Amino acid sequence: MITIAIAVLLVVLWVLAPPPVRSPAPAPRRRARREAAGPLEMAHLVEQLATVISSGAGPRQAWAALGRSLPAGELQDLARAAAAGGDLRRAAGERLRRTDMVASLSTALTVCERTGAPTTVMLQHLAEALRDLHDAAQARRSAFAGPRSTARILLVLPLAGLGLGMLLGGDPLRLLLTSPTGNLLGIAGLALTAGGWWWMRRLIHRADPPRHHRVDPSVQLELIAGALESGLPLARAVAAVGQALPDGDEARALQRVATALQAGVPAALAGRALPAELGALDRSVVLAEDTGADLSRVLRSAARDARRGRARAAEVLAAQLAVRLVLPTGLALLPAFVALGIIPTVMSLLGGTLSPGTG
């Protein structure tokens, strides 16, 4: 019994322990030759590319120079493939392809090529956007770290009750396994625990859903602003970005809006075809038309506001999640704690009066 109690306590400590923090220390020697690329590294690469191009080098020359200067890793492979004329999305490694960083860079370069937008300015704004998105993602992870840790702690309550009963000198596990009454309590406790786990998982998923890997909507606004700065009308700028984006719902929506604008449909009506995440485009166009403001500047301001507002939105959602976690705790996990820990412990301490074989 002592061995089982120790095992239960070890499991409890493992669940309650905070997740390991990734150290920025150098990678192990066997991985030192291959450096992974995160959003900040990609933003630095984009800035370097803009700097080299601004000095008069062509895109391929700039990529070749970066390929010679970058340390061995994903970004060096990407730069060398781009210098050879390869498509960025295909040349990127498997891990990079699972992010939206390469798609954003490839789309930005394609828009510049098709519209004549200044590549240096476009890349500088893209680098700033990548840093903002990184900061927003970090803020979101920090905001949801508390509720996620709370959920892990609450899920261990039933198991903690079982271990507590053993430490108090009872034998709740034997009673749960050998007594018909204990079997019913065990089934009820496990069912309640599983239900609480499913409920909490659903609440966390709804509050912090996984993000699909695509070009961020705020980056799309930046690209449209860059195309407008090249002198294109709104319809052609939207069409250029829609055609450069990876195939998907947002690309098709932008192309539909561009077609409507070219047909003379007012922007307020054409913008209804946009998804909610691109609603800032419709509002920015209406604002620029009403006030005479520079639409490209309005779009860039809307893009920055959208990125910086995500941290505040994440804090609100995390606070709401912390409150909602009370429901599965009170209706599922606490009853499971009682069924698996309290009642069997009391029964075993009283001599198993409800267990088989007692007279």
**Share above pLDDT 90 across residues of the chain, in percent, rounded to a whole number:** 21
User: Looking at residue 207, what is its pLDDT?
Assistant: 84
Are the C-beta atoms of 258 and 235 separated by less than 8 Å? Answer: yes
Question: Higher model confidence: residue 20 or residue 338?
Answer: 338
User: Looking at residue 341, what is its pLDDT?
Assistant: 82
| Average pLDDT for the chain | 81
**Total-model pTM:** 0.75
Question: Higher model confidence: residue 261 or residue 355?
Answer: 261
Q: Does the pLDDT at position 76 exceed 50?
A: yes
Q: Report, as an integer, the average pLDDT of 132-155.
A: 85
Report pLDDT digits (tens) over 3-44: 444 444 444 444 444 444 343 344 444 444 455 577 888 899
Token pair for 281: 């485009």
Q: Does the pLDDT at position 48 exceed 50?
A: yes
Helices marked H in 70-156: 74-83, 88-91, 94-97, 101-115, 119-155
User: Looking at residue 172, what is its pLDDT?
Assistant: 82
User: Looking at residue 6, what is its pLDDT?
Assistant: 46
Are the C-beta atoms of 109 and 88 separated by less than 8 Å? Answer: yes
User: What ranges do the domains of the chain cover?
Assistant: 39-98, 136-209+313-354, 217-306
User: Looking at residue 8, what is its pLDDT?
Assistant: 45
User: Looking at residue 36, what is its pLDDT?
Assistant: 59
Q: Does the pLDDT at position 309 exceed 60?
A: yes
Q: Report, as an integer, the average pLDDT of 211-225.
A: 85
Report pLDDT digits (tens) over 109-142: 999 998 888 899 999 999 999 999 888 888 888 8
Question: Higher model confidence: residue 37 or residue 352?
Answer: 37
Report pLDDT digits (tens) over 290-300: 888 889 999 99
Q: Does the pLDDT at position 274 exceed 70?
A: yes
**Spatial separation of the C-alpha atoms in residues 264 and 273, rounded to whole Å:** 15
User: Looking at residue 212, what is its pLDDT?
Assistant: 63
- Long-range contacts of residues 201-205, Cβ cutoff 8 Å, at least 24 apart: 203/321, 203/324, 203/325, 203/328, 204/144, 204/147, 204/148, 204/151, 204/321
Q: Give the pLDDT band (50/70/90) at residue 176.
A: confident
User: Looking at residue 56, what is its pLDDT?
Assistant: 87
Q: Does the pLDDT at position 355 exceed 50?
A: no
User: Looking at residue 225, what is its pLDDT?
Assistant: 93
User: Looking at residue 349, what is its pLDDT?
Assistant: 81
Element housing 335 (H / E): helix 334-337
Q: Report, as an integer, the average pLDDT of 238-255.
A: 89
Q: Does the pLDDT at position 143 exceed 90?
A: no
User: Looking at residue 5, what is its pLDDT?
Assistant: 44
Q: Report, as an integer, the average pLDDT of 316-328.
A: 88
What is the DSSP secondary-structure string of 222-287? Answer: HHHHHHHHTT--HHHHHHHHHHHSPSSHHHHHHHHHHHHHHTT--HHHHGGGS-GGGHHHHHHHHH
Q: Report, as an integer, the average pLDDT of 97-117.
A: 88
Q: Does the pLDDT at position 246 exceed 80?
A: yes
Please list, residue by residue across 6-38, b when 16 or more beta carbons sit within 10 angstroms of its beta carbon and e when fewer do: eebbeebeeeeeeeeeeeeeeeeeeeeeebebe
User: Looking at residue 21, what is its pLDDT?
Assistant: 39
Q: Give the pLDDT band (50/70/90) at residue 223.
A: very high
User: Looking at residue 279, what is its pLDDT?
Assistant: 85
User: Looking at residue 34, what is its pLDDT?
Assistant: 53
User: Looking at residue 243, what is its pLDDT?
Assistant: 92
Maximum C-alpha span of the chain: 96
Q: Does the pLDDT at position 2 exceed 80?
A: no
